[in-house]
Amino acid sequence: MNLNQQIESWLLSQRAQLVARDRPFVTLSYAQSWDGSITLQSGEPLALSGEPAMQLTHHLRSLHDGILVGIGTVLSDDPRLNVRQWQGPDPQPIVLDAQFRIPPGARLCHLSDKRCWVLTSAETACPVDSALEVIRLPGDSAGRVSLHDALGELKQRGINSLMVEGGANVITGFLKQKLVDAIVLTVAPRLVGGYKAVGDLQFSDRAALPKIAPVFTDTLGSDVIMWGKVQYDNVAGDEDADHAGAS
C-alpha cells in the first residue's frame, strides 16, 4: 500500500467506529511549516505543500462528504475546495461566516455542482446569488457560529464526514471544543515565523490538552505527513506510537 492508500484505509476504519453519533466524523487537515506556521500573516496565502502532499489533500477531500473553512480563509485565499488533483467526488463546500461577509464572487461558490453552504448567525444574511445556501445558526458567546449546532445541522443534512482545512481560528475553535477526531498534517520543510495554526486552547488542566495517539508519520516528497487520532482524555500515547513504512 502506498501512503495515500494507508491514510485512506486508516481514516475509513476510524470513521467506521464512530458512525452512530449526532455529528459528522471530523478530520482536521492542513499544511504548516516546521515552526508551526500556516502562513506568514493572517489574511495572506502561502503555498507550503509540495506536489505529492497537495495530491494527498485532494485525495482526502474526495473521501469526505463536506469540507469546511472559515471566512478568513475564503477572504484571503479564495480557495476552490474541490477535487482537481485526484479522481473522486467533490465534497460539499461549507463556510463558517458569522457576519455573512462572503463575497458573491467567491470561487468555491461557483466551481462545484454543489451550492456552497454558508453557516451564519447574521439575522440579515440573505443569499446574494443562487450559488449560496444560507444556513442560520445560533451564535456563541463570542459572536461566532456555534460549532456544536453547526455539526448537528450538517449531520442532519447528510454530512457524515467533514474535512476541516482551516484557518487558524477555525482549527483552534474545533480543537478547543474537542470536535476533531483525526488529524492529517503536512509539515513542509520551511521556517516561516508567521501565523500559527493553533492558538490558545484555554484548557486549564494541562494534562487534558489534546494528544495524538496512535501517531503515524511518513514522508511524501520533501514533506513529512503526520496523522493520527486526536484524544482529549489522558491516554498513554507513547506505547501506541507507530511509524508507517516508506511508501
Ligand X SMILES: NC(=O)c1ccc[n+]([C@@H]2O[C@H](COP(=O)([O-])OP(=O)(O)OC[C@H]3O[C@@H](n4cnc5c(N)ncnc54)[C@H](OP(=O)(O)O)[C@@H]3O)[C@@H](O)[C@H]2O)c1
Q: Which residues bind ligand X (CB under 6 A)?
A: 30-31, 38-39, 42-45, 48, 69-73, 76-77, 96-99, 101, 144-145, 147, 165-170, 173
User: What residues contact residue 156 under an 8 Å CB cut-off, 6+ apart?
Assistant: none
Residue whose cell numbers read 507513547:
238
User: What residues contact residue 141 under an 8 Å CB cut-off, 6+ apart?
Assistant: none
What secondary structure does DSSP assign to 13-48, as a single string? HHHHTT-SSSS-EEEEEEEEETTSEEESSTTS----
User: What residues contact residue 64 under an 8 Å CB cut-off, 6+ apart?
Assistant: 27, 91, 161, 162, 163
The DSSP bridge partners found for residue 129 are none
Residue whose cell numbers read 459572536:
143
Report the phi/psi class of residue 69: left, alpha or beta, with left for phi > 0 and alpha for psi in -120 to 50.
beta
| Nearest distance in Å: CB 47, ligand X | 8
| Nearest distance in Å: CB 195, ligand X | 6
Kindly tell me which of 138 and 234 has the beta carbon lying closer to ligand X: 138
Kindly tell me which of 151 and 212 has the beta carbon lying closer to ligand X: 151
| Nearest distance in Å: CB 208, ligand X | 20
| Nearest distance in Å: CB 51, ligand X | 15
Kindly tell me which of 71 and 159 has the beta carbon lying closer to ligand X: 71
| Nearest distance in Å: CB 117, ligand X | 13
| Nearest distance in Å: CB 72, ligand X | 2
Kindly tell me which of 63 and 137 has the beta carbon lying closer to ligand X: 137
Kindly tell me which of 63 and 95 has the beta carbon lying closer to ligand X: 95
219 phi and psi angles, rounded to 5 deg: -110, 150
Kindly tell me which of 163 and 212 has the beta carbon lying closer to ligand X: 163
